[in-house]
Amino acid sequence: MEAMFSLSKSAFEISLGLTGVLALWLGIMRVGEKSGFIQLLTQSLTPLFSRLMPDVPKGHPALGAIVMNISANALGLDNAATPLGIKAMKELQTLNPHPDTASDAQILFLVINTAGVTLFPITIFTYRAQLGAANPTDVFIPILIATYMSTLGGLLSVAFVQKINLLDKVVMAYLGGFTLVVGGLHWLIFPAYRNSKCFSNPRLSATSSCFH
């Protein structure tokens, strides 16, 4: 009984902390949408999606919803990404010639959405900070590498089945650019992460010493 009340308190405190973080980043995304930044980002990614999803016309609302969903996932805002993902699926469904079967574009989007490259796992950072982690951002590099590789693996698998030409110059340029960004972040941040006490002492990382 005591554990039930204790965990209920912890759940409420975590939820309360996440509310502020979600409100902040959703507000930033809203500003980006109103200022035209999301539209600009959509236009910049249109050449890539037009090759990965040739059935989706340029300027279709589905592309904007997909970009916003990917942006929310990149910020680690899982709860915010869910309604955006549903909206993207609904928009893609309007282009589906066979409503009872998922289209190639819907399948590819589902894979990208599920893998979800996370550049800034804000939610995870908040969880770790509230639970007393010594350095809540220690997981940044592992999460970045894991989500990028899972997204790349999913894309390669779908491309193989759907016969998407990943050797296209535009696709290769985008993938190469994304890889350079991830590699650059790793190169800049990893030295500090490597020198942290929890990384340098694997036995210590498994104890409570890294969580106070």
Q: What is the pTM of this model?
A: 0.71
Residue 156 exposure: Cα atoms within 13 Å on the Cβ side:
8
Question: Is residue 146 scored above 70 in pLDDT?
Answer: yes
The pLDDT, as a whole number, for residue 138 is 78
How far apart are the C-alpha atoms of 210 and 134, rounded to whole Å?
5
Question: Is residue 205 scored above 50 in pLDDT?
Answer: no
How far apart are the C-alpha atoms of 83 and 124, rounded to whole Å?
20
- Per-residue pLDDT of 33-74, as tens digits, reads 788 777 777 778 888 888 898 888 887 888 888 888 887 777
Q: What does pLDDT average to over the chain?
A: 77
The closest alpha carbon to 108, from 61, 147, 57, 50, belongs to 50
Q: Give me the residue spans of the domains in the chain.
A: 2-211
